[in-house]
Every structure is written in structure tokens, then in C-alpha cells.
């Protein structure tokens, strides 16, 4: 496995490979969710590139940038084990200068739900993803459906900027008891982890309603809120694939999402109908 920190060195190295490139961008502290993206990208492409970059611009002031879990050595071993060909491991100064152009998230879709509770977050996400895609120039880039709104905005950006990359959505990987894997799960105490199971339980409750033919969004949201109580809720919402609120869930065109605070940790999850 090659480990490269310089964007130009990586660009030059990849330019000379006459091969399809699968790319998995991450912020490190790798878990089975990241590994499933890596496996999929490995299967579908000749070369697998993974990036580990804790992107400061997507964290708001007072968020967890400084305490975000770092596991550099373990991450490198995981990448090696799962057949990563090139690990891109830049420093902040390799990616950002002092006075820069940046990408702005769409004014509506980028500022609802996660974008409303973290205003500006998606500007940082889209800016770094634009930079990473331009550096790697992948054939396909893989993103988790767990971050559904992020995935939607990245797909939109690559279309709207006429970029030559296929964005591939990958299903959410969960623990056996239903908790969606997340680097932030490392923050949870034993008791908080038990409380966090309410998130998956609320989505199961939503899915049970849907399978009984109850598609009314208010009804679904009410039952989910009851299941989540007494956790602090940032949002529980039923949206279509364009992230517009809808009053009736439509099979094949709906995402049901929840974001809550457990202790001091923000956790999100969703199901796609
Ligand atoms: P992160 O390191 O949190 O920025 O995540 C890197 C990529 O892994 C993103 O595309 C996430 O959506 C994806 N990801 C995170 N958790 C999971 C999971 N439990 N299942 C599938 N993909 C995930």
C-alpha cells in the first residue's frame, strides 16, 4: 500500500495508471461501515484509493473537532488488510490555504435537517469533497446512506458541476442490536450506548407502520418521537429523495430520518423506503 500526503504527488501517481479508480473518502477511526465501502469499491474498480482527512471546515465552532477519535496506526493496518492500493493521508495545510474559494451548499436543501441544526456544515463537506474528487479524479466514489443528506448533496453537486464521477450509495452497516456504526459511537458510555438503541428502535417502529400501510408522515413522526423519548431530538422527518418534506410516505421515494443527542453525542440514522 502506498501512503501519500501530497495532493500533487497523488494526482501525478494516479494520472499514469490506466485503470478504473474507486475512491472512499473518510475522516478516519475506521469501522465496519467504512470497510463495507472499501470492499464495494475494491470489487468494482481496478484501484482502490481511501482518504483519511479530518476536515476542519465541516465542524462548527464548539463542535467535536478537537476530540474526534484518531486511530492513525490502526486505520493504516485496516487499509492494508482490506487491499487499499493508495491511502491519501494529507495534513490540513496540504488541503487548505489561507484565502480560498469554496463551495456553497444549496440554499434550501443544504440548510434543512442536518444543515439546519449545523448551519454551514455542508459548505465544508462539499468543499472538501470537491477538492478530494479533483485530486483523485475517481471513476466511482462511495458514500454511506447513513449520511443520507450528505450523499444527496454530493450527488447533486457532481451533477450540477458536470463532474465525471459516479457517486455510489452504500447501505448502512449496523451492530447486531441495530445501532448504526459511527466513529462517534466511541464517545458513548455503556449507559448512553443502551439509550442510543432507541434510534434504531424508532426506525423499526416507523418501518412497522409502513408495512401495515400507515404512510401518514405525522403519524410516523409521532410514533418515532414517542419511541425516542426522553432523548433530545434535533429532528425526526419524512422526506422524499430530494429531501423535501412530504406528508405521505411513498415507497421507493422516501427517507425517514432522525437525529438525536445522547449524552453530549449527536447521532443520526435513517431508513430508505
Ligand atoms: P466519516 O468517516 O464519518 O466521514 O464517513 C466516511 C464514509 O463512511 C461516509 O460516506 C459515511 O456515510 C460512511 N459511513 C459511516 N458510517 C457508516 C455505516 N454505519 N455504514 C455505511 N457507511 C457508513
- Tens of pLDDT, residue by residue over 232-269, are 999 999 999 999 999 999 999 999 999 999 999 999 99
Q: Strand 232-239 vs strand 255-262: parallel, antiparallel, or unpaired? A: antiparallel
Print the domain residue range for 146.
Answer: 2-170
Kindly report the protein residue whose alpha carbon is nearest to atom 18 of ligand 1. 33
Buried-exposed string 29-66: b where 16+ CB fall within 10 A, e elsewhere: bbbebbbbbbbbbbeebebbbbbbbbbebbbeeeeeee
Q: What is the pLDDT of residues 9-32, one digit of tens each?
A: 999 999 989 999 999 999 999 999
- Which pLDDT score, from 0 to 100, does residue 16 have? 86
Q: Which atom of ligand 1 is nearest to the CA of 173?
A: 20
Is 138 among the domain residues?
yes
Q: Which atom of ligand 1 is nearest to the CA of 145?
A: 12
Is 25 among the domain residues?
yes
Is 175 among the domain residues?
no
Is 248 among the domain residues?
yes
In the reported structure, the alpha carbon of residue 211 is separated from the centroid of ligand 1 by a whole-number distance in angstroms of 27
Pocket probe for ligand 1: among 25, 30, 34, the residue whose CB has the most ligand atoms within 8 Å is 34
This prediction's pTM: 0.96
- Which pLDDT score, from 0 to 100, does residue 160 have? 97
Residues 115 and 198 in one domain: no
Residues 164 and 118 in one domain: yes
In the reported structure, the alpha carbon of residue 212 is separated from the centroid of ligand 1 by a whole-number distance in angstroms of 31
User: Which residue ranges in the chain fall short of pLDDT 50?
Assistant: none
Task: Give the C-alpha separation, 240 to 60, whole Å.
Answer: 27
Residues 85 and 9 in one domain: yes
Is 176 among the domain residues?
no
| CATH code assigned at 240 | 3.30.1300.10
Is 227 among the domain residues?
yes
Based on the structure, what is the number of domains in the chain? Answer: 2
Residues 32 and 157 in one domain: yes
Residues 213 and 159 in one domain: no
User: For residue 219, what are the contacts with CB-CB under 8 A and spacing of at least 6?
Assistant: 209
- Which pLDDT score, from 0 to 100, does residue 172 have? 98
Amino acid at each position: 500500500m502506498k501512503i501519500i500526503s501530497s495532493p500533487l504527488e497523488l494526482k501525478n501517481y494516479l494520472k499514469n495508471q490506466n485503470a478504473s479508480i474507486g475512491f472512499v473518502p473518510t475522516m478516519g477511526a475506521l469501522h465496519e461501515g467504512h470497510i463495507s465501502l472499501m470492499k464495494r469499491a475494491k470489487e468494482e474498480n481496478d484501484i482502490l484509493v481511501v482518504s483519511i482527512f479530518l476536515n476542519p471546515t465541516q465542524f462548527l465552532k464548539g463542535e467535536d473537532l478537537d476530540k474526534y477519535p484518531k486511530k492513525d496506526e490502526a486505520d493504516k493496518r485496516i487499509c492494508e488488510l482490506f487491499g487499499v492500493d493508495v491511502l491519501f493521508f494529507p495534513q490540513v495545510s496540504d488541503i487548505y490555504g489561507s484565502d480560498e474559494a469554496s463551495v456553497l451548499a444549496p440554499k434550501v436543501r443544504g440548510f434543512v435537517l442536518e444543515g439546519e441544526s449545523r448551519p454551514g456544515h455542508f459548505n465544508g463537506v462539499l468543499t472538501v469533497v470537491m477538492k478530494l474528487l479533483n485530486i483523485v479524479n475517481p471513476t466511482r466514489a462511495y458514500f454511506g446512506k447513513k449520511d443520507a443528506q450528505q450523499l444527496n448533496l454530493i450527488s447533486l453537486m457532481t451533477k450540477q458541476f458536470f463532474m465525471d464521477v459516479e457517486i455510489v450509495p452504500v447501505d448502512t452497516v449496523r451492530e447486531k442490536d441495530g445501532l448504526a456504526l459511527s466513529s462517534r459511537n466511541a464517545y458513548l458510555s455503556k449507559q448512553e450506548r443502551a439509550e442510543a438503541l432507541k434510534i434504531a428502535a424508532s426506525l423499526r417502529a416507523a418501518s412497522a407502520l409502513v408495512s401495515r400501510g400507515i404512510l401518514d408522515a405525522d403519524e410516523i413522526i409521532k410514533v418515532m418521537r414517542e419511541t425516542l423519548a426522553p432523548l433530545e431530538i434535533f429532528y425526526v422527518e419524512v422526506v422524499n429523495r430530494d429531501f423535501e418534506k412530504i406528508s405521505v410516505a411513498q415507497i421507493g421515494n422516501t427517507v425517514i430520518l432522525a437525529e438525536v443527542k445522547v449524552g453530549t453525542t449527536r447521532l443520526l440514522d435513517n431508513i430508505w423506503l
